[in-house]
Structure formats: C-alpha cells, structure tokens
Amino acid sequence: MRNLFRDFLNLFFPDLCVVCNQRLSEGEEYICTDCLLSIPKTNYHLQPDNRLEQFFAGRIPFRHIAAFAYFVKGGSIQNIIHELKYKHNPGIGRFIGELCGENIVDSDFISGLDLLAPVPLHPKRQKQRGYNQSLEICKGISRVTGIPIDSETVVRKVNNKSQTRNSRFDRWKNVEDIFALTNERSFQGKHILLVDDVITTGSTLESCAKEILKCEGCKISIYAVGTAG
C-alpha cells in the first residue's frame, strides 16, 4: 500500500535530478545517471603535488589535499552544493559524501586517517540552516570508508559574514581567529581529514587547520566536494 501511494504521488510530484531537472528513473536518487557520469572529477587524490597541494604549500603543513570534482559556474557541482546549502536538502550532502567516499576509499589518500572533521558552522547559522552541510558530507564519506567523525572538537566561535563578494585578502581577514578547540586532547597524535563543501581561496580551511594543528602531534589532510577551476 505504501509503495502504491508513493507511486501515485510520483505521478504528480516526480523526483527530479538536481542537476538537469529531469525526472529520475527508478533506482536513481538525487542525480540522474547521465549527470553522475558527467561530473568533472579531478582525481587529485591520485596525484601527489596536485594543483590544490601546490596552492596550499607554505600556508599550512599538511599530508594530502584533494577535491572530488571541479566547481564550474552553472555546472553539476554548483547545482549540487546550492541544493545542499540553500534548499534544505541535507540528504544530498550524505549522497555526495558517499560518492566522495567511493572515490577515495581504495586510495593511499585515506591511509592512516583517524578522524573526519567537518568545517563547523557558527551555532546561529547552523540553527538557521538546520544542519551543517560539511557534517552531512562527512556522514556519507564515513559510511563508505568507516572513518569516524568528530564534529565536537573544533567549533566556530565567530559568526563571520559571508565570503561571497570579498577579495582574497578580505576573505583571509574575515576568517582570522574564528575557530576554537573544545578539547585539544581529542586530536592529539591523530591524523585528521578536514572536510568542506567547496575550496575557493582556501582561507576558511587554512584558518580551521591552523587551529587544529595546535594539538600536539596532530596531522592534517583536507578534502572538499568541489574546487574552483
């Protein structure tokens, strides 16, 4: 009976692909097969000294840095992130996180990782959105890789303004000293994978990583769903 009711609703309110807005076929979830196959993956997790690692070199000490796909204006990753952040759809965060997890699970990129740590939102912003998009992505990655999540140790203590229209220097100043640790011993001697939705200037990730690296013996890697260009 439940399936009949669902099928009836689907006649009038079909599930649509968040990328191309076409009706999903049976077995498809959030993104149609054609759009999944066309996601522009970077494969940076297989490339030592990739473009992102060069970009962050000298800014923070790190083990590995990668992103799942290229974030192109009007492209699939932009649509997915927009759906996740602004259309109250945390499920797609877990879904894209699983895709990310499947992409890196058999690679050296995750070798030796102890914990996943999502870049935190300020409590006020998280209350407005209803969830932290980076944590939802972590849940998907964790489901595939088995790496546990720590979403409590690093917190955002300043509710900084949106970075969208800031210059690179202004972005860096806007995120300076906005993070804090609730318990440095939680990350002591651990290899942490810091997870975010998109890497643009990297200023937020840099600020968050510097705070985490205050923990004795801690190592950092970084992973995001998308990266510009």
Taking residues 131-148, report their average pLDDT.
Answer: 98
Q: In Å, how far from its chain's centre is CA 157?
A: 20
Average pLDDT of the segment spanning 40-65? 97
User: Could you tell me which CATH class the domain 39-228 is placed in?
Assistant: alpha beta
Q: How far is CA 144 from the centre of its chain?
A: 15
Contact predicate 60/209, CB 8 Å: yes
pTM here is 0.90
Residue extent(s) of CATH 3.40.50.2020 domains in the chain: 39-228
**Mean local confidence (pLDDT), 126-137:** 97
Strands ordered across the beta sheet of 115-118: 65-71, 219-228, 191-199, 115-118
pLDDT at 13 exceeding the cut of 80: no
